Amino acid sequence: MTLTSSAMPTPSPVSLQLARRMSRMKTSAVREILKVAERPDILSFAGGLPAPELFPVEAIAQAHAEVFAKEGPAAMQYSTTEGYGPLREWICGHLAQRGLPATLEQVIITAGSQQGIDLVAKVMLDPGDVVVVENPSYLAALQNFDGYEARIEVVGSDDEGMRVDELAELAARFPLKLIYIVPNFQNPKGTTLSLARRHALVRFAQRHGVLILEDNPYGELRFRGEALPSLASLDDSGVVVQLGTFSKTLAPGLRIGWAVGSREMMRALTVVKQSTDLHTATLAQRATARLLKQFDYDRHVTRLCAVYGERCQTMLDALEAHMPEGTRWTHPDGGMFLWAELPRGMRGEDILPRAIEQKVAFVPGNPFFAAHPRSECIRLNFSNRPPELIEEGMQRLASVLAAQ
């Protein structure tokens, strides 16, 4: 792939030869349509956005002000790649409460869980190595693995999450390197991996020597049912790296997440992080650590869960009330998304332009599939709009479908 650069006033544009991986990193047509969905007049359920009115902006501002007042020069300085000690200590305590005791050396701070995905991929994947994902799966993880020229293989998914029973057949065909999974309230489907499958998945990874990348950005946002043990908490042999983040509980703009796993793996991630960004922003780390000391995080998360639970229920009720026969959807116990299958013959990508004309938007399901795309699927976000707009939006969407 070449890039013709004419941004500078040169007499003739210069053609640059880009890396081979760039030809694998396509921009999707949907992304272009979704830019339109960001227009303020459109009621969009497309983005993966938390509710902005619930960001604890004042508390975050105060924590930053205190960092400037009390530890200004240190917060402006370079820092260690592993991350700020007191923040890592807080995360260790937090994980221990959730059945995952970890020492300080087993936790590193990342720029969101997205960087955790990238670092693990960089440590684990050579071109052609096999990564297994649930089909459909988180788009930006698929793009990341593509960037490392991995071979992405899929297993199916149902209401209990990843079809772990399909892994054995894949393992018979390829040496597997990495299994990527979002076990709680998956993006895009909103489904949760059942307890039996969690045990089976960890056993499989131990038996076959495969690393599980447990991406858990939504685990805290449970509004129904009992929390299930994490994959990392079921493993005692270092085959799981778990990623966490404050993006969905505090604010994504902070760009603070973490990775937890074996000491050896954390050392490897630290080496690659060093060459990637030296360390996560010192100011944001220190402000987050200070915030967590003086702010009732658990109460805040309980409130988020209550609000998202209500919004999810509103969306489920509105779908039930308005959607044409033949539409089906998932019933998440937490998180920010649900997944709908449109009536037979309808394609998300065809419906989207018409939906935008009616000033409502969603994400068509196609790009989330690494193989065998199912065009009748769409993803709907329920966290970003208040209940009355969710009701209004679902009515608009239903009228677009009814008109087909």
Ligand X SMILES: Cc1ncc(COP(=O)(O)O)c(C=O)c1O
- Identify the CA nearest to 338 among candidates 371, 362, 356, 372: 362
Q: Which stretch binds ligand X (CB under 6 A): 52-60, 92-100, 109-117, 298-306?
A: 109-117
**Position 136 contacts ligand X (CB under 6 A):** no
Q: Which is nearer to ligand X, 252 or 365 (CB)?
A: 252
**Position 145 contacts ligand X (CB under 6 A):** no
Q: Which is nearer to ligand X, 247 or 288 (CB)?
A: 247
User: Binder to ligand X among 183, 217, 332, 393 (CB under 6 A)?
Assistant: 217
The tokens describing 396, both together, are 């608009």
Contact between 260 and 232 under an 8 Å Cβ cutoff? The reply is yes
Residue 396 C-beta: closest distance to ligand X, Å: 24
Residue 245 C-beta: closest distance to ligand X, Å: 3
The tokens describing 243, both together, are 């990623």
Query: Per CB under 6 A, which of residues 336..355 are in contact with ligand X?
Result: none
Q: What is the distance between the alpha carbons of residues 345 and 326, in angstroms, rounded to a whole number?
A: 10
**Position 187 contacts ligand X (CB under 6 A):** yes
Residue 189 C-beta: closest distance to ligand X, Å: 11
Q: Give the angle subtended at the CA of 135 by the CAs of 134 and 141, to the nearest 5°.
A: 65
- Cβ neighbours of residue 183 under 8 Å, at least 6 residues apart? 161, 162, 192, 193, 198, 214, 216, 219, 228, 230, 231
**Position 257 contacts ligand X (CB under 6 A):** yes
Number of neighbouring beta carbons within 10 Å of residue 368: 24
**Position 185 contacts ligand X (CB under 6 A):** no
Residue 2 C-beta: closest distance to ligand X, Å: 31
- Identify the CA nearest to 212 among candidates 110, 101, 133, 126: 133
Q: What is the distance between the alpha carbons of residues 85 and 65, in angstroms, rounded to a whole number?
A: 20
User: Binder to ligand X among 114, 135, 230, 288 (CB under 6 A)?
Assistant: 114
Q: Which is nearer to ligand X, 124 or 351 (CB)?
A: 124
User: Binder to ligand X among 136, 161, 252, 261 (CB under 6 A)?
Assistant: 252
Q: Which stretch binds ligand X (CB under 6 A): 5-13, 85-93, 108-116, 368-376?
A: 108-116
Q: Which stretch binds ligand X (CB under 6 A): 61-69, 128-136, 245-253, 295-303?
A: 245-253
Q: What DSSP designation does 244 have? A: E
Residue 368 C-beta: closest distance to ligand X, Å: 11
**Position 249 contacts ligand X (CB under 6 A):** no
**Position 112 contacts ligand X (CB under 6 A):** yes
**Position 242 contacts ligand X (CB under 6 A):** no
- Beta-sheet pairing, 257-260 with 240-245: antiparallel
Q: Which is nearer to ligand X, 30 or 400 (CB)?
A: 30
Number of neighbouring beta carbons within 10 Å of residue 221: 23
Q: What is the distance between the alpha carbons of residues 223 and 64, in angstroms, rounded to a whole number?
A: 30
Q: What is the distance between the alpha carbons of residues 87 and 83, in angstroms, rounded to a whole number?
A: 8
Q: Sort residue 167 into left (φ over 0), alpha (ψ -120 to 50) or beta.
A: alpha
Tokens 């033949």 belong to residue: 326
One-letter amino acid for residue 202 of the chain: V
Binding mask 41-80 for ligand X (x = CB under 6 A): -------x--------------------------------
**Position 369 contacts ligand X (CB under 6 A):** no
**Position 309 contacts ligand X (CB under 6 A):** no
Q: Which residues bind ligand X (CB under 6 A)?
A: 48, 112-114, 138, 182, 187, 215, 217, 245, 247, 252, 257
